[in-house]
Amino acid sequence: MRFGNIELKNGISLAPMAGVTDRAYREIMREFGCEYAVTEMISAKALEFGSNKTSELAEFSSFDRPVAIQLFGSDPAIMASAAARIEQTFRPDAIDINMGCPMKKIVSNGEGSALMRCPDTAGKIVKSVKASVKIPVTVKIRTGWDENDKNAVDFAKMLEDSGADLIAIHGRTRMQFYEGNVDLETIREVKKAVGIPIFGNGSVMSASDYKRMKDFTGCDGVMIARGSRGNPWIFREISDFCENKDYKPPEISEKLDTIHKHMSLMYGYKGSKGIIEARQQLAWYFKGFRGAASLRKKAVTVESFSDIERLIESIPIEEQIIC
Ligand SMILES: Cc1cc2nc3c(=O)[nH]c(=O)nc-3n(C[C@H](O)[C@H](O)[C@H](O)COP(=O)(O)O)c2cc1C
């Protein structure tokens, strides 16, 4: 698949997750075949007010490409100016606009998925961002607000007419948040309705889910969010499937090495704040380990990088059978 200058072999991508898919996380996913990634969402308003904490979210390494930086906001002029600043400062490969976030504090400001109820404003945002940058502008949406207002098809056509280069669609409504069945039918309808590439997204947890998403919807690429937590190997599983190779799940030693590397990256980039955030990541990695409950209990109490190293070293490799 191709959009702008970005070419992806199989379109296997990491979806944005605020508080999860930081720089360290994305770097680990890249090692296992993630072809494209989107940063955590960044507030256009906060960027415009010059928040250092906010711009840290936009940092990425040279091998973490192609990468899109995701912005959220509801004011076309602020979004355009934030996008231009991002392009000049960080040089990402694309700007992604969040029109899917269901969180109350976002939606109540008219941002995220609230924009699906305000197509005029959404169109103005795309047009003004598009006019302010040279790189592709992509948009992440949902199927609609709720069961009675599934407007993704018309909304996607409007985004395309406004200049969007790609649409990623999460097959749930705003009211579903992250639960319930993924509506592949609407993703398929969106794909049929527009000429720009589409990423299908929602509950892809394995190569067979990837195949189902692609076969059913005809989407060009697939975005994976929760299926990658504690399981960067999902990218290897799907790449191997695409290349007709046999997939070998990771041995325990590979798992432990990867966890160690991920934790060092988090600590390296974020210092002690990274340790607090690492607790949740460790808990995801330990899923399926023998003694997972006790490992998770220990994970949520780590206070330092040496605590993390001690915890990893305490896991007896020979006794581990990973389910
Ligand atoms: C903790 C968490 C944070 C998320 N943050 C973002 C975000 O910043 N921007 C965005 O567009 N979507 C965000 N999402 C939505 C995901 O990108 C994705 O659309 C959704 O989780 C469905 O995909 P999945 O079933 O593979 O998890 C988030 C999801 C989760 C679970």
pLDDT tens digit sequence for 148-173: 999 999 999 999 999 999 999 999 99
pLDDT at residue 177 in the model: 98
237-292 confidence digits (pLDDT tens): 999 999 999 999 999 999 999 999 999 999 999 999 999 999 999 999 999 999 99
Indicate the top mutation candidate among 178, 222, 277, 280 to test ligand 1's pocket, ranked by most ligand atoms within 8 A of CB: 178
pLDDT at residue 96 in the model: 98
Band the pLDDT of 320: cuts 50, 70, 90: low
In this structure, the residue with its CA closest to atom 19 of ligand 1 is 170
Closest CA to 308 of 316, 317, 293, 298: 298
**Spatial contact of 185 and 147, defined as CB atoms under 8 Å apart:** no
pLDDT at residue 316 in the model: 83
Backbone angles phi, psi at 15, to 5 degrees: -80, 155
Please state, in angstroms and rounded to a whole number, the distance separating the CA atoms of residues 54 and 262: 22
Torsion (CA) 114, 100, 148, 177 in degrees, nearest 10? -110
Band the pLDDT of 52: cuts 50, 70, 90: confident
Backbone angles phi, psi at 221, to 5 degrees: -145, 170
**Quick one: average pLDDT of 209-224?**
98
Asked if pLDDT for residue 50 goes beyond 90, the answer is no
101 is known as an active-site residue: yes
| Complete domains list, the chain, with CATH | 2-242 (3.20.20.70), 252-319 (1.10.1200)
In this structure, the residue with its CA closest to atom 15 of ligand 1 is 17
Helix (H), strand (E) at residue 216? helix 207-217
**Spatial contact of 175 and 146, defined as CB atoms under 8 Å apart:** yes
Asked if pLDDT for residue 323 goes beyond 60, the answer is no
Site residues for ligand 1, CB cut-off 6 Å: 15-20, 40-41, 70, 98, 100-101, 140, 170, 178, 201-204, 224-227
Report the separation in Å between the CA atom of 97 and the middle of ligand 1, taken as the mean of its atom positions.
Answer: 13
Band the pLDDT of 296: cuts 50, 70, 90: very high
Asked if pLDDT for residue 112 goes beyond 70, the answer is yes
Indicate the top mutation candidate among 140, 167, 170 to test ligand 1's pocket, ranked by most ligand atoms within 8 A of CB: 170
The CA distances from residue 320 to 180, 236, 253, 257, 289, in Å, are 33, 22, 10, 14, 7
In this structure, the residue with its CA closest to atom 29 of ligand 1 is 17
Q: Which atom of ligand 1 is nearest to the CA of 16?
A: 17
**Quick one: average pLDDT of 216-231?**
98
**Spatial contact of 147 and 176, defined as CB atoms under 8 Å apart:** no
Please state, in angstroms and rounded to a whole number, the distance separating the CA atoms of residues 242 and 92: 27
